[in-house]
Amino acid sequence: MVSAKTKVINPQGMHMRPAQVFVGEMGKFKCDVTLLCNGKTINAKSIMNLMAACIKQGCEIEIQCSGEQENEALARAVELVDSGLGDL
Amino acid sequence: MILQGIAASGGVGLGRAVCVREEKLDYSGVAYSGKESEKDRLQAALEEFEDRTDAMAKRIRERVGEKEAEILIGQITMLADPFMHSQMEEAIDNGSCAEAAVDAICTMYADMFAGVEDELMRQRATDVRDIRDRLLAVLLGVTGVDLSQLPAGSVLVARDLTPSMTVGLSRENIAGILTEVGGRTSHSAILARALELPAVLSVPKALDLIKDGDGLIVDGSEGKAILNPDESTRAGYLKRQQEFFARRAALEVYRDRATVDADGKVYHLYANIGSVAEAEAAAQSGAEGIGLFRTEFLFMNRTSLPDEGVQYEAYQAVSKIMAGKEVIIRTLDVGGDKAIEYLGMDKEDNPFLGHRAIRYCLDRPELYKVQLRALLRAGAGEKNIKIMLPLVTCVEEVRAARELLDQCKDELDAEGLPYDRDIKVGIMAETPSAALIADLLAKESDFFSIGTNDLTQYTMAVDRGNAKVEKLYKTFQPSVLRSIRNVIAAAKEAGIPVGMCGEAAADPCLAPLLMTWGLDEFSVSISSVLDTRANIHRWRGEKAKRVTQEAMGLSTAAGVEGYLSAAVSD
């Protein structure tokens, strides 16, 4: 398992569109992707769970990837969040 | 029989009732056909749902607009969640039929969304329930009423309008809408106005009282419906309907025109709104900006204060919808007749003279600063937000609010968050005190907006909800008119813009006075935008000036009103 911490910077947070961008990209990797935020553990391949977690701008998150391609998945995940998920 | 409801979309619709009852989605008789077979049924239903929803989205995009179609596209995205699919399959593995699996998992997510803090995210619960009901309908082979197949002159009667129901709605076959739930700002109301279909909402027990084929008149301007009307009532409404159509057609030419008087002098015509959804409607109505965005909706129907993020999202959404146009947002106007339970406000003997609006907010800086910060940040993108302070009575209040705003700016600087450094701060001129010291307030304000409803009430010292004194409540009272004149004159003198966002801004009788005095901006309800533009268009400056002089020489409200009514229809 590999993990990294970062911060959600896009204004909308994990609303429909940013969440869709994130989930869509993570679905391309075989490993499990999990987000830790506000004490919650969220399956980051599930748009429903990601949206229901209400992750907002400024939230500190930890991304964990575990399984095949975990390093590539983590790098891509951090890159997406740091670039604002198409919402900047 | 007359049914009372809420006037949600103007106009008159006459026809035969078509009742859309909630489909019976009872699956208690469905036998479990084995893991594989149930999973196949689920898979087929998911595909069918996507095809149908995609087709619906296409039709809505063509007929209503992109925004409405997005609701349906969002539903497809949500249902594509592989994790949710695996949860449904797990339920099937544990012995549930496909229907029970869909019901259990969707209901779980709907409850999850319904419980979150974020207002916009909470609305997703409605989507998940709509998904659930339509998936169950597919699985059970229940076909809903296809509204597009209804004959012309159908009056739709339903509990509520669902996003999926909106596909079949059109002016060709639906004469009007009547529902059991929903208010003026509900999804149903906004959709009805976008389609220009007369609608009366919140009619209790409508589906119990009305049967398919009943004669039904929907009066969306008055907020009532007439069930099985007699012939003379019908004839009367038919005439009103024709007049309404003729008027609407005549006004249509003003939708894309500039707001100018007959001499070509330009005015600004804005809309008043009370929710994010209404901003969409305002943008389509021909309004050139938002002159009053009431923020109370964010604070109501909840049990705790909306945090900065929730407020930011709402303000920013409106700012984006109105990109390139001004958005004047009024800070929390709580108290008086608008109580919000969780704020723990004390019961007062004279709430309208008590601890309300700016007075309350300045005494709760920790609460007020959350709103000010959200407004500052929301203005960062389009730079089109202006802040309006309600119920200002003295200069100290403006200074105190500006002081808090400066503190917020310092905090945002320290946190490195973007905001609109040059955001404009103005006051709502709605108290006799503000009218009398308008010159002093103009030196400390970036703009004025006259709120005639409270200004009339406070100037005349009259509670307009009290039938015994209600007759004194007239904007035509010479005292009220002089106050308005004074506020506009002070703004002109100081060189700041002045608007009006009370009901008087849409009154055709007052237009010549407001134009003569130099009002820059008229802000009216969405349904009055075109009327007001047409009114302004009618006047020449010279004539408006003569009428104003004449009217201001009269000494009674009745005299002024009588004279202006005659002058306007002249």
pLDDT in tens, A35-81: 999 888 999 999 999 998 889 888 899 999 999 999 999 999 999 99
pLDDT at B195 over 90: no
Using alpha carbons, select from B292, B296, B301, B290 the residue that is nearest to residue B311: B296
Give the minimum alpha-carbon distance from B112 to chain A in angstroms, rounded to a whole number. 7
Q: Any residues with CB less than 8 A from the CB of B338 and at least 6 apart, and which?
A: B296
* CB-based contact B192:B217 (threshold 8 Å): no
For the ranges B53-62, B218-227, B489-498, the one whose mean pLDDT is highest: B489-498
Using alpha carbons, select from B474, B450, B445 the residue that is nearest to residue B462: B474
- B127 vs B479 pLDDT, higher one: B479
Q: Does B109 touch chain A (CB under 8 A)?
A: yes
Rounded CA separation B189/B198 (Å): 9
Phi-psi category of B383—alpha, beta or left, where left has phi over 0 and alpha has psi -120 to 50? left
The architecture (CATH level 2) of A2-82 comes to: 2-Layer Sandwich (3.30)
Q: Does B81 touch chain A (CB under 8 A)?
A: yes
pLDDT confidence bin for B521, thresholds 50/70/90: very high
* CB-based contact B257:B269 (threshold 8 Å): no
In chain B, which residues have their Cβ closer than 8 Å to the Cβ of A23? 81
pLDDT tens profile B389-399: 999 999 999 99
Active-site residue identified among B97, B361, B501, B509: B501
Please give the full DSSP string across B508-540, using - where no structure is assigned: TTTHHHHHHHT--EEEEEGGGHHHHHHHHHH--
| Across B2-17, average pLDDT | 91
| Across B1-13, average pLDDT | 90
Q: Do A46 and B116 touch (CB under 8 A)?
A: no
B119, closest residue in chain A (CA to CA)? A54
CA distances from B104 to A55, B86, B91, B124, B185 (A): 25, 13, 8, 17, 31
In the prediction, which pLDDT does A32 show? 93
pLDDT at B46 over 80: yes
Q: Does A24 touch chain B (CB under 8 A)?
A: no
- B52 vs B410 pLDDT, higher one: B410
In the prediction, which pLDDT does B502 show? 82
- With b for 16 or more beta-carbon neighbours within 10 A and e for fewer, the B124-133 pattern comes to bbbbbbbbbb
In chain A, which residues have their Cβ closer than 8 Å to the Cβ of B122? none
pLDDT confidence bin for B166, thresholds 50/70/90: low
Instruction: Among B167-181, B425-439, B448-462, name the one with the lowest average pLDDT.
Output: B167-181
pLDDT at B259 over 90: yes
SS3 sequence, B93-148? HCCCCHHHHHHHHHHHHHHHHHCCCCHHHHCHHHHHHHHHHHHHHHHHCCCCCCHH
Give the minimum alpha-carbon distance from A37 to chain B in angstroms, rounded to a whole number. 15
In chain B, which residues have their Cβ closer than 8 Å to the Cβ of A47? 77-78, 80-81
In the prediction, which pLDDT does B142 show? 81
pLDDT confidence bin for B536, thresholds 50/70/90: very high
In chain B, which residues have their Cβ closer than 8 Å to the Cβ of A45? 82-83
B419, closest residue in chain A (CA to CA)? A11
In the prediction, which pLDDT does A49 show? 92
In the prediction, which pLDDT does B187 show? 65
pLDDT at B169 over 90: no
Give the minimum alpha-carbon distance from B320 to chain A in angstroms, rounded to a whole number. 12
SS3 sequence, B36-93? HHHHHHHHHHHHHHHHHHHHHHHHHHHHCCHHHHHHHHHHHHHHCCHHHHHHHHHHHH
Structure tokens at B2: 């007359």
In the prediction, which pLDDT does B338 show? 67
Strands B12-20, B6-9: parallel, antiparallel or unpaired by DSSP? unpaired
Q: Do A46 and B316 touch (CB under 8 A)?
A: no
Bridge-partner residues for A34, per DSSP? A43, A64
Bridge-partner residues for B428, per DSSP? B449
Active-site residue identified among B187, B268, B361, B408: B187
Q: Does B84 touch chain A (CB under 8 A)?
A: yes
* CB-based contact B287:B526 (threshold 8 Å): yes
Full set of structural domains in chain B with CATH = 2-22+149-251 (3.50.30.10), 36-140 (1.10.274.10), 257-569 (3.20.20.60)
pLDDT averaged over every residue in chain B: 91
Rounded CA separation A7/A61 (Å): 6
Give the minimum alpha-carbon distance from B32 to chain A in angstroms, rounded to a whole number. 27
| Across B167-175, average pLDDT | 79
In the prediction, which pLDDT does B167 show? 64
pLDDT at B431 over 70: yes
| Across B86-114, average pLDDT | 94
Cβ within 8 Å of A, B 289-308: none
Asked about A15 being catalytic, the answer comes back as: yes
In the prediction, which pLDDT does B348 show? 84
Q: Does A27 touch chain B (CB under 8 A)?
A: yes
Q: Do A57 and B120 touch (CB under 8 A)?
A: no
List of E strands, B414-515: 424-429, 448-450, 498-500
In the prediction, which pLDDT does B337 show? 66
Q: Do B74 and A54 touch (CB under 8 A)?
A: no
- B389 vs B190 pLDDT, higher one: B389
A32, closest residue in chain B (CA to CA)? B83
Give the minimum alpha-carbon distance from A75 to chain B in angstroms, rounded to a whole number. 22
For the ranges B126-130, B190-194, B220-224, the one whose mean pLDDT is highest: B220-224
pLDDT at A29 over 70: yes
In the prediction, which pLDDT does B350 show? 87
In a mutational test of the B interface, the residue from A48, A49, A87 whose CB has the highest number of chain B CBs within 10 Å is A48
| Across B524-552, average pLDDT | 94
- B502 vs B227 pLDDT, higher one: B227
| Across B424-446, average pLDDT | 98
In the prediction, which pLDDT does B181 show? 84
In chain B, which residues have their Cβ closer than 8 Å to the Cβ of A52? 109, 112-113, 116, 121, 124
pLDDT confidence bin for B386, thresholds 50/70/90: very high
pLDDT averaged over every residue in chain A: 90
Rounded CA separation B136/B105 (Å): 12
pLDDT confidence bin for B193, thresholds 50/70/90: confident
In the prediction, which pLDDT does B107 show? 94
Q: Any residues with CB less than 8 A from the CB of B340 and at least 6 apart, and which?
A: B296, B299, B300, B334
Rounded CA separation B363/B368 (Å): 9
Q: Do A52 and B81 touch (CB under 8 A)?
A: no
Q: Which of B84, B116, B381 sits opposite A48 (nearest CB)?
A: B84
Using alpha carbons, select from B371, B351, B226 the residue that is nearest to residue B296: B371
Percent share of chain B, pLDDT over 70:
96
pLDDT at B329 over 80: yes
* CB-based contact B402:B387 (threshold 8 Å): no
Rounded CA separation B272/B151 (Å): 36
Q: Which of A13, A16, A46 sits opposite B81 (nearest CB)?
A: A46
| Residue ranges covered by each domain of chain A | 2-82
Instruction: Report the amino acid identity of residue B302.
Output: R
ipTM of this complex: 0.89
In the prediction, which pLDDT does B127 show? 84
A45, closest residue in chain B (CA to CA)? B83
In chain B, which residues have their Cβ closer than 8 Å to the Cβ of A38? none
Instruction: Among B76-85, B422-431, B533-542, name the one with the lowest average pLDDT.
Output: B76-85
